[in-house]
Amino acid sequence: MNIKSNYDFLLSDLTALKGVGDKTTSLLKKKKINNIFDLLWKLPKSYTDRSLSSKIEDLKIGDNQTIKVIPQKYSFPRVKNLPNRVLCTDESGEIECVFFNSFEGYIRKILPLGKEITVSGKIGYFKKRYQITNPKYISEDSSFIKQKHNTYSLTEGISEKIYNKIINQIIDKLPILDEWHSNKILNNFENISWNNAIKELHKAENIGKYKESFYQRLAFDEIFSTFLVNSEIRKKIKKVKKKNKNINLDKQIEMIHKLDFSLTNDQKIVLEEINKDLCSSNKMFRLLQGDVGSGKTIVSLLAAQNTINSGFQVAFMAPTEILARQHFHLAKKIFPKKTNIEFISGKSSYSDRKKIHNKLLKYEIDMIFGTHAIFQKKVIFKNLGLIIIDEQHKFGVNQRKKLSDKGGNNCDVLLMTATPIPRTLTMTIYGDMDLSIIREKPKARKLVKTYSKLESKIDDVIKFIKKEIENDNQIFWVCPLIEESKKIDHSSAVKKFEFLKKIFPNQVGLLHGKTDNEKKESILNKFLNKNFKILVSTTIIEVGIDFPNANVIIIENANKFGLSQLHQLRGRVGRGNKESSCILMFKSNLSENAKKRINILKESNDGFYISEEDMKIRGFGDVLGFKQSGIKNFKLADPIHNSNLFILAEKEMRRIENSKEDISKFKTLVKLYDRADIINDIA
């Protein structure tokens, strides 16, 4: 195959490689290796140095070593399942090459008697004689011993020898691609080309050299390709021209004055950013990120009222019915009486849903609250101007784009999340959106005091709870599992519920993932209405409704949770005007990382600082405490270790956007790394 100057070869099917048939292709595809380019990122984990040949007398048992020997005698037993053996010698001693499941003819071919052969494999010792079982490499070529052979995490059914042949074939045929980066960017990586960087990446002696220019350049390519995709999505959305909203600031001020608290500086800044978007002829596609209790909801409702005053409808979606209903009641409380506000959910009766659908179509409803039922195909708005999505952190890039399209040209989109995300991750996950951040907490909000307690001291915790209940307060008690597990020594919600209801009869409720939605809503409402004092729960209370009277949360096996998740759970209390506490319970045998997490949480209530520390401890893969749909699955880049590359990519992307530079030169980069359908029309 001729070397091409484009990416066609790299995106070819695996069968384009010599010696790769349907069977090997099928095995590789099970490992999500779908084309030649994907194989480039299956990096060697170690290498076997065959550059030095040993004498038999100097062999080390258990090591992979290379020897030059002369086959002297075959032993092919006629008894089934016994191995075939070949006695080999050099001037210093004897060794046996042992073969299982190999044919006699094949062995005679690769180890002909009387010829010097180079053999490599793991050295064993059996019945006072060295042996190599199923040697990895056998060759008559003396140059063989000058090589270093990479060791890979192999796909079952593919030998190391075949894998190396495939990789080496790709490296030999690697196309020389036109450079897509500027000289200024390349200077950061010693001007190494993509082609040479790939070759360096696969050299045995470069394994683990993450700080070298070749590795850094390729990691930057990964990051920058993601930034390009996000930039193109932003541009596509900005190209959509909409009817701008006319905001009446006097009405906004009037509504703010009716609140029983003052907006923080951060809230004022963010509201101004959103208002600017609403007034623009470009479509808003914005993420509002704020720590638990920072006041995102009130900002979104002020934006909603501004939209309604401009003659448009608003849809507000929340992940649970009880949270959606709470937002609905807050809007009813603070919006002018003449505002038509409705609520819809999956539980709404058919006749109620039909009435609401008709009202929305006739513009008899200004704002609708609900769960995902809001966006069913049957729901059609007369003049939808703003979609607000609360806690929809599991939306990926393409899902968000479809959501933006669904609203129509005149509809702005505001997503909110109470999960603070480190900056490098925010650039990647939400890079397609404009970002607003509320860091400042309302002055009236009291800090939650955090304590750690040994599990064996549970009697002290019970005494503390009794006092809180006497003061008419409520308590969350969080356990990691629903039921007892013989495999994992965690507390279970069910067991703890049984334990607590004996001490506090008629004052304990139970909630977990197996509770059906209707019962779940009922339990949460009863707790909200103070029908019982203690709610034993799994982590499903992590994001959701405010319980102003709940001022204590106890988290069992706290060392088993990530920092960000513990912070989210802690955010369930401290929402009223009372002093609040979080008690982290743990067993005595804590790991160093678990001790770090608990101490960080005791020291800080800043969700952004906590998320950064969490990422340093646990890595970025699960920093959010759940599987992040839409998170970039980087193969080389790491948001922790390569934060400088993320900042460099952001700076370069802004430069390109501001100068309106032609991005067609990046087509190859995007095609290779993201293969994003959404920007297939890059020139």
Q: What is the rounded average pLDDT of the residues 652-656?
A: 93
Contacts of 433 (CB under 8 A, 6+ apart): 234, 285, 286, 287, 400, 415
CA torsion, ordered 620, 626, 628, 633, to nearest 10 deg: 40
Q: Would the pLDDT of 630 be above 60?
A: no
Question: Picking from 169-183, 322-336, 511-525, which range would have the lowest pLDDT averaged per residue?
Answer: 511-525
Contacts of 49 (CB under 8 A, 6+ apart): 148, 204
Residue 245: closest CA among 309, 320, 176: 309
Residue 317 DSSP one-character state:
E
Strand partners, 412: 386
Q: Which of 53-62, 176-185, 486-495 has the highest mean pLDDT?
A: 176-185
> Can you read off the two tokens belonging to residue 293?
């209790």
Q: What is the rounded average pLDDT of the residues 592-601?
A: 84
Contacts of 469 (CB under 8 A, 6+ apart): 475, 504, 507, 533, 534
What is d(CA 367, CA 383) in angstroms, rounded to the nearest whole number?
Answer: 11
Which burial class, exposed, middle or buried, applies to 350 when counting CB atoms under 10 A from its CB (0-12, 13-18, 19+)? exposed
Q: Which amino acid is at 412?
A: D
Q: Are 296 and 286 in contact (CB under 8 A)?
A: no
Q: How confident is the model at residue 19 (pLDDT cuts 50, 70, 90)?
A: confident
pLDDT for 430-442, tens place per residue? 777 888 999 888 7
Q: What is the rounded average pLDDT of the residues 591-609?
A: 84
The pLDDT of residue 150: 64
Q: Which amino acid is at 502?
A: K
Q: What is the rounded average pLDDT of the residues 98-105?
A: 89
The pLDDT of residue 396: 55
pLDDT for 108-149, tens place per residue? 999 999 999 989 888 999 988 999 999 878 888 766 555 566
pLDDT for 331-340, tens place per residue? 999 999 999 9
- Residue of higher predicted confidence among 350 and 644: 644
Per-chain mean pLDDT for the chain? 83
The pLDDT of residue 683: 43
Q: What is the rounded average pLDDT of the residues 533-547?
A: 78
What is d(CA 195, CA 118) in angstroms, rounded to the nearest whole number?
Answer: 33
Contacts of 129 (CB under 8 A, 6+ apart): 94, 95, 96
Q: Which amino acid is at 475?
A: I
The pLDDT of residue 364: 94
Tell me the backbone φ, ψ of residue 130, rounded to 5 degrees: -65, 150
Q: Would the pLDDT of 252 be above 60?
A: yes
Q: Which of 332-336, 520-524, 595-599 has the highest mean pLDDT?
A: 332-336
CA triple 32-232-670, angle to 5 deg: 35
What domains lie within the chain, and their CATH numbers? 51-146 (2.40.50.140), 177-239+645-683 (no CATH), 249-438 (3.40.50.300), 448-604 (3.40.50.300)
Q: Would the pLDDT of 447 be above 60?
A: yes
Question: Picking from 345-354, 460-469, 473-482, 618-627, which range would have the lowest pLDDT averaged per residue?
Answer: 618-627
Q: Are 48 and 120 in contact (CB under 8 A)?
A: yes
> Can you read off the two tokens belonging to residue 254?
């009037």
CA distances from 357 to 24, 41, 379 (A): 55, 51, 6
Write 618-621 long-range contacts (CB < 8 A, 24+). 618/562, 618/563, 618/593, 620/422, 620/424, 620/425
Residue 120: closest CA among 49, 44, 202: 49
What percent of the chain clears pLDDT 70, i.e. is strictly above it? 87
The pLDDT of residue 91: 93
- Give this prediction's pTM: 0.69
Residue 538: closest CA among 492, 474, 486, 585: 492
Q: Which amino acid is at 22?
A: D
In angstroms, the first-to-last Cα distance of the chain is 28
What is d(CA 407, CA 386) in angstroms, rounded to the nearest whole number?
Answer: 8
pLDDT for 542-571, tens place per residue? 565 678 888 999 999 888 887 878 888 888
Residue 83 DSSP one-character state:
P
Q: What is the rounded average pLDDT of the residues 160-173?
A: 82
- Give the SS3 label for residue 40: coil
The pLDDT of residue 545: 65
Q: Are 511 and 540 in contact (CB under 8 A)?
A: yes
Residue 652: closest CA among 189, 184, 233: 184
pLDDT for 348-368, tens place per residue? 788 888 899 999 999 999 999
Contacts of 557 (CB under 8 A, 6+ apart): 479, 480, 490, 491, 585, 586, 587
Helix (H) or strand (E) holding 398: helix 397-406
> Can you read off the two tokens belonging to residue 256?
């703010």
Contacts of 397 (CB under 8 A, 6+ apart): 229, 230, 233, 432, 630, 678
The pLDDT of residue 144: 54
Q: How confident is the model at residue 528 (pLDDT cuts 50, 70, 90)?
A: confident
The pLDDT of residue 598: 85
Q: Where are the alpha helices (DSSP H) in 472-514?
A: 493-503
CA torsion, ordered 300, 302, 308, 312, to nearest 10 deg: -30
Residue 283: closest CA among 396, 413, 399: 413
> Can you read off the two tokens belonging to residue 570?
């802690």
The pLDDT of residue 4: 42
Q: How confident is the model at residue 180 (pLDDT cuts 50, 70, 90)?
A: very high
Helix (H) or strand (E) holding 354: helix 350-361
What is d(CA 303, CA 276) in angstroms, rounded to the nearest whole number?
Answer: 11
Contacts of 473 (CB under 8 A, 6+ apart): 533, 549, 550, 551, 552, 578
Q: Would the pLDDT of 375 be above 80?
A: no
